[in-house]
Amino acid sequence: MLRLLLCTSATFTAFAPALAEEKPRLADLDRTRLAEAFRLADAVGNKVWPDWDTAPFAVLLVTPDHEFLIRHAKPSEDFTPLGEDAVLKTKVWTRKRQFSPELLATFPAVGGVPTIVIGQAENTTARTSTRWVITLLHEHFHQLQNSQPRYFAEVDSLGLARGDKTGMWMLNYDFPYSKREVKEQFATMAQSLADALAAMGKADFAGKRDAYLEARRKFYSLLSADDAKYLSFQVWQEGIARYTEYHVAKLAAAGFEPSKEFMALKDYSSFEDESRRIRTGIEKELSSVQLDKAKRTGFYALGAGEGLLLDAWKPEWRKKYFDEKFTLEPHFKAGK
């Protein structure tokens, strides 16, 4: 301490430029997580969705003080280049933080390119490294959705915005969540779907599936045309993104070898454990959902469950997922 006090002002002046020029850098922990997510996407992505590797994979990592832009083709002028990252094998840019460190979202955040805006695992609902990697691929699936021809124009053509130009209608649409008959039939339908999933691979699967289809038909009959479109949109978009998490984790458990660096992380968990946790979570939500409390998030487990049901019923359905946007209806109307 005494030696520090004896330093001359000239000494401090000599150190000042070096301190001022020091640039922010990605933490090694974040680099390890990002590298694992990119490896996993390369290994299993196209096995889940055809041509998934054609979608952009731009990521904006939000830390408490800075944001780091990775794999982006058109960074805006407010970003400072940090050069090529040896671990990520791509260029990285940075700027002062603008978004919440808790954010998990995909939207044209930088240069009009669908970009994953995501906080560090510790600051988001993902919490742990393996779960965060799977969540990043959930958001990467949204990039595949967003990059489909005429995606945004067709979202507008749904006619559900009702004058809202911000996109907040996707979160705030006035769906009749608390209407008694809607709430009760949703619970009946969701439980019926859980029963069908539990019967997969068993002799009574066809009967349980048909019971779900009937409960589903009754629920949709209670909705207005716009309400039905909103439900279908959320199931198609967010529900199938939740389904994608499970499918990615399941494939990773079956044949993906995590890197030594990733497995060495103190919060590492296996993809097998994560796939089991995701599947159990979907089934539990279906059996306990209260629509008036869950609101639109109740549709996520429904969509994930429908994806799992279609896997057992029509294993080729994913090849036609993008043929008709914002609805799974064609897959349920086709012959058994």
Structural tokens at position 101: 């460190």
pLDDT digit string, tens, across residues 48-86: 999 999 999 999 999 999 999 999 999 999 999 999 999
Q: Determine the pLDDT at residue 19.
A: 46
Phi, psi of 278 (to 5 degrees): -65, -45
What is the arrangement of strands in the sheet containing 104-110, beginning at the earlier edge strand? 80-85, 90-96, 66-70, 58-62, 113-119, 104-110
pLDDT for residue 204 is more than 60: yes
Give a three-class secondary structure readout of 50-85. CCHHHCCCEEEEECCCEEEEECCCCCCCCCEEEEEE
**12-21, pLDDT tens digit by residue?**
344 444 445 5
Query: Taking all residues of the chain, what is their mean pLDDT, rounded to a whole number?
Result: 93
The helix/strand count (H/E) of the chain reads as 15, 6
Is the distance from CB of 42 to CB of 53 less than 8 angstroms? yes
Question: Full-prediction pTM beyond 0.85?
Answer: yes
**Up-side HSE of residue 290: CA atoms within 13 Å toward CB?**
2
Please list, residue by residue across 283-296, b when 16 or more beta carbons sit within 10 angstroms of its beta carbon and e when fewer do: bebbeebebeebeb
Q: Write out the DSSP string of 205-260.
A: HHHHHHHHHHHHHHHHHTS-HHHHHHHHHHIIIIIHHHHHHHHHHHHHHHH----H
What one-character-per-residue DSSP string does 258-278 give?
--HHHHTSTT---HHHHHHHH
